[in-house]
Amino acid sequence: MPIFRDTYAENMQRDSTEAQRLDEQFDLLTENIGYLLHPSVRDKMHPHARVADIATGTAAFLRNLAHDWPDTILHGYDISTSLYPPARTLPRNVTLHLLDARKDVLVNLYGQYDIVHVRLIAAGLTASEWGRAIRNLSRLLKPGGAMQWEECDFANVRHLPGRPYSTTGAASTMGLMYMTAMKPRFDYGWNQLVTEMRSAGLADVHTEAVSAGRVYDTRTRLTANGMKAMFAWARLHSIRGTQGALPMQHVEDLEHRAYADIQSGCYVTYDIHIAWGFRPE
C-alpha cells in the first residue's frame, strides 16, 4: 500500500524512460527561463544555506544547485521515491525524502529552509488543493526565506509551423487530446500562485512568464520531449482500457505522424510562469 494517494501516477509513468525525459525537460525549461533561481531569490543563497525542493522527481534542481554550492544542505521531497536516482549517485549534500504537499508538514520541518523551490507539481494537484499546498510549504521557510515556484500553462499548449512547409496536424491532435483530458489539473496552478502565496503570508510576491521555445535551439527537443510525455499518457490509458482512450494501433499511427510533424519544423509553445515571495523577517 502506498503511504499517500498518488494522484500523479493516475496519468503519468514512473520509470527510467520518464526519469530521463524529466531530466531533459528540466534542462530545456531552465534554458528558456534563463535562471535556476531568480536573482532576488538567489540573494538568499549562502555557502551553508538549507534548500528544500518539493515534488523533486529526479532531483534535477538539487543536482544542478549542488554543482555550484557544494556545502549547502539540499533536501528533496516527493510523494513517491520511484523517480529518485540511487543515493550513491547523488552529490553528497543532497538527500531525498517522502512528503505529500497536500498534507500538513511535520512540525519539526517548520522554519528549516532558506529557500523552498517547486517546479511542475500541477499534474498531482486538484483545483481545490493549491491553497493548502502553498500554505503548508510556506511553513518550511525560515523568517526572511524565499519560495520560488514554476508551473507551465499546459492548458494552452499550441503546436505551430516553424517553417513554410511544416505540418502540424498530428502533433496538434495529440496536444488537444491531452489538454482536454488533463484540463481539470492544468487549468489551475500557475494562475493561483501569486494569490495563494500572499494569503499564506508571503511578502514581496512577484511573477513573470516566458514562452517555452523562446530559445530557438531548444524548440525541437522541447517539442519531442513533450510529445514523449503525451504518447506515454496515451499508451498508459490504452493499455488500461480507460473509457475514450485510443486503441494502441491508432496511438502508434498518430505518434509516427506527430514525429514527422516535428521533423518538418512543427514546434510547441506555452507559457512558463515563475512566482516567488518571501517569508517576512
Ligand X SMILES: C[S@@+](CC[C@H](N)C(=O)[O-])C[C@H]1O[C@@H](n2cnc3c(N)ncnc32)[C@H](O)[C@@H]1O
Could you list the residues that contact ligand X (CB under 6 A)? 8, 22, 26, 54-57, 60, 78-80, 83, 99-102, 119-121, 123-124
The nearest distance, CB 123 to ligand X, in angstroms, is 6
- Which C-beta is closer to ligand X: that of 101 or that of 170? 101
- Which C-beta is closer to ligand X: that of 152 or that of 170? 152
The nearest distance, CB 112 to ligand X, in angstroms, is 17
265, 161 Cβ separation under 8 angstroms: yes
- Which C-beta is closer to ligand X: that of 10 or that of 252? 10
Residues 6 or more apart whose Cβ sits within 8 Å of residue 33: 150, 210, 272, 274
DSSP string across 90-108: S-TTEEEEE--TTSPPPGG
- Which C-beta is closer to ligand X: that of 213 or that of 265? 213
- Which C-beta is closer to ligand X: that of 96 or that of 202? 96
Cell of 182: 488533463
Helix (H), strand (E), coil (C) string for 174-192: HHHHHHHHHHHHHCCCCCC
SS3 assignment, position 83: coil
* Cβ burial 26-42 (10 Å sphere, 16+ → b, else e): bebbbebbeebbbeebe
The nearest distance, CB 93 to ligand X, in angstroms, is 18
The nearest distance, CB 18 to ligand X, in angstroms, is 9
The nearest distance, CB 124 to ligand X, in angstroms, is 2
Residues 6 or more apart whose Cβ sits within 8 Å of residue 35: 42
The nearest distance, CB 99 to ligand X, in angstroms, is 6
140, 109 Cβ separation under 8 angstroms: yes
Nearest residue by C-beta to ligand X? 124
The residue type of 77 is: Y
The nearest distance, CB 161 to ligand X, in angstroms, is 28
- Which C-beta is closer to ligand X: that of 120 or that of 174? 120
Rg (CA), the chain: 19
- Which C-beta is closer to ligand X: that of 64 or that of 166? 64
